[in-house]
Amino acid sequence: MSKTDFGFLKKYALIVAGVVFALVSLSFIWFSHNKQRLIYNSLYTVAKALRESDNINDYRKFAEDFRDVRVTVLDGHGNVLADNQARSVSMDNHANRPEFVKAQSENYGGDTRKSETTGKQTVYVMVKLKNGTYIRLAQSAGLSYEFILWLFAPIAFLCFCIAVLIFVLIKNKQVERMRQEFVANVSHELKTPLTSIKGFAELTATGLVTNVESVRGYQEKIVFQSDRLLATINDILLLSKLESTKPKALKEVDTRSVADQVKEALKLLADEKDIIIQISGEGTVMAEPEPIYHLIYNLTDNGIKYGHGGGFVKVTLNGQKITVADDGMGIPEKDVERVFERFYRVDKSRSAERGGTGLGLAIVKHTVQKYGGTVSIKSVVGGGTEVFVEFGR
């Protein structure tokens, strides 16, 4: 399979980054606004209680109870008389502060700004007591770690969603690419024998070839290519059935009896090459009988196709294990991983001349996957091939 093009992800990454940035910015604005409003409300409630009790001692009690609230006491001219977090003597006159100006006319005043003393964004509430003293309550509305904590949960969730989305997109892209490749391969695989059939048929139809032997030769070629075409179509249908249907009505399939049927079906082919098919052992697997038949058939057929005259194909059954071994030409190491891919052949012309479709091992792999098993190959060039299948692992 060719490499997947991830260029399309750039576009999605930019959109996602933009959405995340906008969400974080909006969340920040909403969060800071909300926090300031909450602080203002609680300071205002305390300020109201202070004005109603009209008792300066309450300020001291308040200062003790709420250490994170800064309390400043001012006279009617805005001079600082006391402050629980700063030295009052070093503090400027507050007469022109917005909260003081407002409290002078309306008894209460509020403002939110960066504090000159602490350097932090701060909410101020000023109350004018009935005795003419002013008390200013101030609390920092800095967000930093609270905001990060508050954002962490949705951001983590968002990241998770993005990761899932990217995974699904990549998977879809890969599936789409594999489908395109498969369609291109299928077209090619069908076109090749069909072109030959058409060519030979046209040649004999012209009537120019009068030699009976030659005509028979062309007709044999037409039959061979037709068989090849049919075999390819059958394998494509088998593969698509394996992929599109879920395993149902599983039953104990007697692998020994299936292997015996396969031996019978391949007897002629084996005899032609003087290859002996040996079957030993017993076994059962939980599956559907037809796919198991095709699995054993394809492996045995390969053993014959790629075996040499006078050789053997051994099918060994052991519980849920099926092993098919031959003493044929073997598979080069670099190809072993790829032979399960659809239409992958080590030697294209050799496979074609032996009637191979390039789908035999892909069918084996899909069957094994469908019934929860594993398949692996051990092969030595010139020394033979062993295919190990194990179900129920």
Neighbours of 348 (CB within 10 A): 12
Q: How many residues bind ligand ADP (CB under 6 A)?
A: 24
Q: Is 388 helix (H, G, I), strand (E, B) or coil?
A: strand
Q: Which of 266, 358, 366, 371 binds ligand ADP (CB under 6 A)?
A: 358
Q: Which of 110, 193, 311, 360 binds ligand ADP (CB under 6 A)?
A: 360
In 245-389, which ranges are continuous DSSP H helix?
255-265, 267-272, 289-305, 333-336, 348-353, 360-370
| By CB under 6 A, residue 367 contacts ligand ADP | no
Please say which residue, 295 or 339, places its beta carbon nearer to ligand ADP: 339
Provide the minimum distance between the beta carbon of 326 and ligand ADP in the complex, in angstroms, as a whole number.
5
Residue facing ligand ADP at closest CB distance: 360
| By CB under 6 A, residue 351 contacts ligand ADP | yes
| By CB under 6 A, residue 328 contacts ligand ADP | yes
Q: Sheet containing 134-140: which strands, arranged edge to edge?
A: 80-83, 70-74, 134-140, 121-128, 108-114
Residue tagged 């996957």 (tokens): 369
Please say which residue, 40 or 306, places its beta carbon nearer to ligand ADP: 306
Provide the minimum distance between the beta carbon of 346 and ligand ADP in the complex, in angstroms, as a whole number.
3
Task: At 264, list the tokens.
Answer: 């019978």
Provide the minimum distance between the beta carbon of 367 and ligand ADP in the complex, in angstroms, as a whole number.
12
Q: Which of 385, 389, 390, 391 binds ligand ADP (CB under 6 A)?
A: 385
| By CB under 6 A, residue 329 contacts ligand ADP | yes
Provide the minimum distance between the beta carbon of 258 and ligand ADP in the complex, in angstroms, as a whole number.
18
Task: At 19, list the tokens.
Answer: 């959405």
CA–CA separation, 204 and 221 (whole Å): 12
CA–CA separation, 82 and 94 (whole Å): 12
The closest alpha carbon to 140, from 69, 216, 42, 217, belongs to 69
From 87-95, 124-132, 280-288, 325-333, give the range in contact with ligand ADP by CB under 6 A. 325-333
According to CB under 6 A, which residues from 282 to 311 bind ligand ADP? 298, 302-303, 305-306
CB 313 within 8 A of CB 275: yes
Provide the minimum distance between the beta carbon of 340 and ligand ADP in the complex, in angstroms, as a whole number.
7
| By CB under 6 A, residue 357 contacts ligand ADP | yes
Dihedral sign from CA coordinates of 27, 28, 34, 38: positive
CA–CA separation, 43 and 136 (whole Å): 9
Please say which residue, 122 or 357, places its beta carbon nearer to ligand ADP: 357
Q: Is 14 helix (H, G, I), strand (E, B) or coil?
A: helix
Binding site for ligand ADP (CB under 6 A): 298, 302-303, 305-306, 326, 328-331, 339, 344-347, 351, 356-362, 385
